Each structure stands twice: as C-alpha cells, then as structure tokens.
Amino acid sequence: MHNRERLWRTADGRSIAVRDMELSHLVNVINWILDNRDSYPRSALDLMVAEANYRKVFLFAEGKEYPQKVGRRWKMINPQTGAGRIEKPPAEYIEAVKENVGYQSMSKRTQEKRIKQ
C-alpha cells in the first residue's frame, strides 16, 4: 500500500496530501509527470499511479467517474458511457503559476509532446 498522506507540492506553492487531491488534479499530475519524466523522481509517478489505481476500485464500484490509463494518457472515465476526459486546471491556478519559470519550461515541453502525439 502506498502512503496516501504524502504531500505533493503544487507549482503555486501549496502542499496537498495525495489522498486529498481532486480526481482531475490527480489525473493532470500523472500526465504532467509522464510528459516531464526527467524533472521528477520515479517514486513521484509511482505514488500518483498507485493512488489512481486505489481510487479506481472504489469509484468504479460506486458508479462514479474513475481514473484510467487510455493509451499513453490518463483520463477520467464516465462509467455510464465509457467516455474519457481530461479537465484543464482552474484558471486561478494557471494565473498563479504563470510567472514560475520551472512551470513554464515544463509546460512548453508538455505542449510540444502533446502536439507530436
């Protein structure tokens, strides 16, 4: 079992326990790490994927939207339709990190990778 109490520090400086992350945030973080593997230790990806898989079991059983890897990306799956989606980060978060140099360089790499796919 992974440590659900571990903290994740967001680019805008907040710390949040993995267990408290919104589902859309968790999915975005997994995809972000996948796009920027050289910027994170393997343990960060392992932790987030373990949390996603943990939640998948319970959310699926409850008939709620759950995280699932689809091809190379993680998405939130609607159990009624099977449709997957990725939700963009909130506008206030993007505004808060727009001056963060590290975030901007990783964002540029992420966008380049997604265009190629």
Q: What is the pTM of this model?
A: 0.81
Q: What is the pLDDT of residue 117?
A: 61
CA distance 99 to 91: 14
Q: How confident is the model at residue 116 (pLDDT cuts 50, 70, 90)?
A: low
Per-residue pLDDT tens for 49-87? Answer: 999 999 999 999 999 999 999 999 999 999 999 999 888
DSSP for the chain reads ---TT-EEE-TTS-EEEGGGS-HHHHHHHHHHHHHTGGGS-HHHHHHHHHHHHHHHHHHHHTT--EEEEETTEEEEEPTTT--EE-PPPPHHHHHHHTT-HHHHHHHHHHHHHHHH-
